[in-house]
A and B are shown apart, each in its own frame.
Chain A
Amino acid sequence: MLRLAPAAIVLLLLGPVAAGLGGVLLPAFGYLPVLGGDSLSVEPFRRLFELPGLAASVLLSLGTGLAATAIAVSAVLLFVGGSFGTRTFRLMQRFVSPLLSVPHAAAAFALAVLIAPAGLPARLLSPWLTGWTHPPDILVVHDRAGIAMVLGLVAKEIPFLLLMTLAALPQTMARERTELMASLGYGRVLGFAHGVVPVLYRQLRLPVFAVLAYATSNVDVALVLGPTTPAPLAVRIVELHADPDLAMRFVLAAGAVLQLGVTGAALLLWLGIERFAALVLAALAPTGWRASRDAAARLAGSALVALPAGAILLGTAGLALWSVAGPWRFPDALPARVTLGVWMRVMPGLSAALGNALAIGVCASALALLLVVAALENEVRNGHPPGFRGLAALYLPLLVPQVAFLFGFDFLLARAGWDGRFAALLMAHLVFVLPYVYLSLSGPWRSLDPRYARVLASLGRGPGTAFRRLRLPMLARPILTAFAVGFAVSVGLYLPTLVVGAGRWPTVTTEAVALAAGGDRRIVGVTALVQALLPFLGFFVALAVPAWLHRNRRGLRVAR
């Protein structure tokens, strides 16, 4: 049984992605007999490129995606390099989970509340400082260059990259290496860059690719913060999906293929950036420059990570205030009245959505956890950790843009009459949940000292006992954290839930987006908080249960 687990995982991940890609590739080249397309042609692409401003959309997706990824990666590396082993570092570790639990759309709204001309800071400073009696007519949110969108993406990807870095650091001998570099007279940041980054980045590479793929193809952040004249490519693909014109199905498929190409191009460009950065580092080394005074760089690193984190937390607090606000005219610093009216009105409608999100999230992450634990246990007992190819399969759903394969997958499900079924939705969620559960659990699982199990074996106990009595209890914390990560991913999924669920399984996220369509900031406040609530509870459980289980096991507590 155990030996089947890795194969099952690969099948569950590759199946839907491959089927979905097939489902868009053929129509993209004009072949979809049920809609009257029975010969191959490039007509869909010709019509796609006739859409006004398409080139601008493509460049926007490419540019903002690369910029957001470059900023987020540099910020995380600068921060970890500058503060590894300090109190700031340990403090930030604690904020990572709550930050991760804020869904993308909610984080984007939180940022919008801060930076919009009618946002909270503008209200606080007006009119006494700024002289504004109306919000100034400045294009901040939805700016044409996508700067606001890049900021939103950076704020949301930093916690993810930080979590991945935290997981990778123990396998890099980072402490020993930084100490060695310090003994050679290097400053913290440059020492980290020369001594640790080359080993660390090898492990971070796939997560960085996943960030890049998301940033070049995201829909939810782009809708809230991104430009609209024109919008990034992925947003325009989703708009095509809402077009009642039959012929647009082919153009939609062509758009999905183009998105695949854009993300692929971004990955290639990124490889170039990687090469360039490596060359710069290599060229710096023989100069002997040690940058021993790097307080400014360290401060910049801390600020680059703390500012977005603070913005999300502050903006979320701002949304909480909006959710209970009565009339609130600009430039009043506070609402004229505080009322629970919106909560009372929206919550009854959200209760079913909360239940659905909970059911899908628990089922998907439990199933994913079962498979991942089985695969890891198989690895412990029978050897063979997955090579790069196995990992690539895991990362495939994170690298292929959702808009590129979901519509094709849905079409195949509809043909089979499976769309709208819980099982189909569960399968779609597993595609996205499994990789994250695997990524967050495999590190701790592999780094558990194998000598414990050897001691147990020398006492005459079999591998089953080692699993039950040793690995499960000792790894309770990472297991529950992996579950919480998977749960958060599932709760935050928008497009897959909408498309595959056929509206039969509304979750807090789909309801939040539908309600946000009305644009009322009070409702956005309520839905963003409710959206963040479930993942937050998940992370809370992941912290509280091990703390209680290990209350009299000092060695298993989180080091203070």
Chain B
Amino acid sequence: MFPRLIACLLAAFVSAAAARAEAPDPSRWQAVLAAARGETVYFHAWGGEPRINDYIAWVGREVAARFGVELVHVKVAETGAVVAKVLTEKAAGRTGNGSVDLVWINGENFAAMKENGLLLSEPWADRLPSYRFVDVAGKPTVARDFGVPVDGLEAPWGMARLVFFYDPGEVPAPPRSAEALAAWIEANPGRFTYPQPPDFMGTTFLKQLLVDLAADPAALARPVGSVDFEAVTAPLWAYLDRITPLLWRQGRAYPRDYGGMRQLLADGETAISFAFNPADASSAIANGELPDTVRSFVFDGGTIGNTHFVAIPFDAGASAGAMVVANFLMSPEAQARKEEAAVWGDPTVLAVDRLPPEDRARFAAVERGPATLPPDALGPVLPEPHPSWVAPLEAEWARRYGVGQ
């Protein structure tokens, strides 16, 4: 009895130790593929959009058939909670077999994980086979996430751009700057709102206004501690003080998130909305969620753009499988499918002109939808402020507008 028990415990210990073994080396890709076969990858990704969930389900079927990797989409409501989960595991002394193998991430969450040593310690993403087509020169945000060097610790997945939506029947001349938007809100009280920060879309809208209104936008690229926060953000609060009483519900309530805001546009409560995906309105039209008359516009001075990524936590139990999934997500085939408006409409991170002809043809055939602006009409990309701006911006917003008067 007892010897057997001890043997059992030993076996458990040895297997736990094996799980702690070094992360696979992506430059020896065949070895990674071999190690990945049979692994189950728990992919923690925001689950609020069925179109994206469907796309991830497709990825799951493909990696199962091609590489023998089982992909489980853990649908999360808030990526910060995943970071907190990994943090809890680290604080609890776990070093392997963590509950998260792959996480959809960018910006301040990436910065927090990188800073706290919650990611795989060795660079891996820029060594994946698919990475050679990534458009590092044309899309600098694939290497600097909100200005923080990526250092190969997360693999670029897609490009986001802030784009506004409106119904030309209701808004004949859409406002193409922050100032014009304020004037439009004054002329049409109650017909505009934004998700309540700290929802990431709400925070993104604040950042867009800040980049537009700040006297010296260059200050936003620096860590917030090194500049005069009050002075730089003063124009933003003056602007919000002006529009808040004229927002939907007089600014006494806000939609919880981007989906809630889109529902308001669909119900005709608001007349202008926005998304972080240029094809979002087209996708929503294709699914009957928005009327087919909805169109897009951007600010003439440009809108905020960034890259979203997938990262592997330090204690992932299936890091080889996670790399195989990340590599597939970056492949021309998966990227082209993702760009279809009916699938998701998320722009690619690849340099399409550098792809082999058959892959270029995939992108040429992509259907971008009636409400999607062509890439050359999207205007300039404005960089995200340094991630350290997010927390003080959200705190100051909550203090001024989040607690009533």
Contact = CB atoms under 8 A, between A and B. Distances in A.
Interface of A: 32, 34-35, 51-53, 56, 117-118, 133-135, 137, 139, 141-144, 223, 227-230, 239, 241-246, 249, 326-330, 337, 339, 341-342, 345-346, 348-349, 410-411, 414-415, 417, 419-420, 502-504, 506, 510-511, 513-523
B288 A341 contact: yes
Contacts of A135: 267-269
Interface string B249-260: 110111111111
Contact of A246 (B76, B116, B259): B116
B386 interface: no
A514 B49 CA distance: 9
A56 B94 contact: no
Q: Which of A51, A327, A510, A523 has the most CB of B within 10 A?
A: A327
A446 B258 CA distance: 53
A137 B403 contact: no
Interface string B20-53: 0000000000000000000000101011111001
A151 to B, nearest CB: 16
B403 A230 contact: yes
Interface string B235-258: 000000000000011101111111
Q: Which of B54, B88, B116, B266 has the most CB of A within 10 A?
A: B88
Given A229-B254, A230-B404, A519-B263, A117 B81 contact: no
Contacts of B402: 52-53, 228-230
Interface string B283-323: 00001110100000000000000000000000000000000
A140 to B, nearest CB: 9
B233 interface: no
Interface in B87-116: 87-89, 91-94, 97, 99-100, 108-109, 112-113, 116
Given A230-B402, A411-B91, A503-B76, 20 more contacts: A34-B92, A53-B403, A135-B269, A139-B250, A142-B253, A229-B403, A242-B80, A330-B267, A342-B50, A349-B54, A414-B92, A504-B74, A504-B99, A511-B75, A514-B47, A514-B48, A515-B53, A518-B258, A519-B48, A519-B255
Top-7 shortest CB links A-B: A53-B403, A519-B259, A518-B259, A518-B48, A517-B48, A503-B74, A519-B260
6 contacts: A142-B249, A229-B401, A230-B403, A242-B78, A513-B77, A514-B75
Given A228-B254, A244-B109, A134 B269 contact: yes
B398 to A, nearest CB: 5
Contacts of B190: 137
B391 interface: yes
Contacts of B113: 244
Interface of B: 42, 44, 46-50, 53-54, 57, 72, 74-78, 80-81, 83-85, 87-89, 91-94, 97, 99-100, 108-109, 112-113, 116, 189-190, 196, 198, 248-250, 252-263, 266-269, 287-289, 291, 391, 395, 398-399, 401-404
Contacts of A34: 91-93
A46 B264 CA distance: 38
A440 B1 CA distance: 43
Contacts of B255: 519
A144 B252 contact: yes
A522 B108 contact: no
A339 B289 CA distance: 12
B399 A52 contact: yes
B57 A241 contact: no
A415 B92 CA distance: 5
A229 B198 CA distance: 12
Contacts of B54: 345, 349
B253 A56 contact: no
A349 B60 CA distance: 12
Given A242-B80, A415-B92, A517 B259 contact: yes
Contacts of A339: 288
A246 B87 contact: yes
B275 to A, nearest CB: 12
B293 to A, nearest CB: 10
Contact of B253 (A227, A414, A503, A513): A227
Nearest to A336: B288
Contacts of B291: 327, 329
A502 B254 contact: no
A522 B57 CA distance: 20
A52 B400 CA distance: 9
B108 A514 contact: no
A244 B84 CA distance: 5
Contacts of B391: 245
A520 B50 CA distance: 10
B81 A241 contact: yes
B119 to A, nearest CB: 12
B48 A515 contact: yes
Contact of B50 (A229, A230, A345): A345
Contacts of B259: 517-520
Contacts of B85: 502-503
Given A242-B81, A341-B288, A518-B48, A414 B94 contact: yes
Contacts of B253: 139, 141-144, 227-229
Contact of A414 (B57, B88, B252, B398): B88
Contacts of A516: 48
B288 to A, nearest CB: 5
Nearest to B254: A228
A523 B50 contact: yes
Contact of A411 (B46, B75, B92, B401): B92
A117 B287 CA distance: 24
Q: Which of B42, B113, B252 has the most CB of A within 10 A?
A: B252
A359 to B, nearest CB: 16
Contacts of B267: 118, 135, 329-330
A521 B81 contact: no
B269 A118 contact: yes
B89 A414 contact: yes
A550 B291 CA distance: 56
Contacts of B77: 513-514, 517
A245 B112 contact: yes
B111 to A, nearest CB: 9
B88 A137 contact: no
A521 B402 CA distance: 25
Contacts of B189: 137
Contacts of A414: 88-89, 92, 94
B403 A337 contact: no
A434 B395 CA distance: 41
Contact of A515 (B75, B109, B403): B75
A415 B53 CA distance: 32
A244 B75 contact: no
Contact of B256 (A328, A502, A519): A519
Contact of A503 (B42, B83, B84, B196): B42
B143 to A, nearest CB: 22
A515 B50 contact: yes
B288 A520 contact: no
Q: Which of B42, B113, B289 has the most CB of A within 10 A?
A: B289
A35 B196 CA distance: 30
A517 B257 contact: yes
Given A53-B402, A56-B404, A502 B99 contact: yes
A108 to B, nearest CB: 13
A516 B89 CA distance: 28
A231 to B, nearest CB: 9
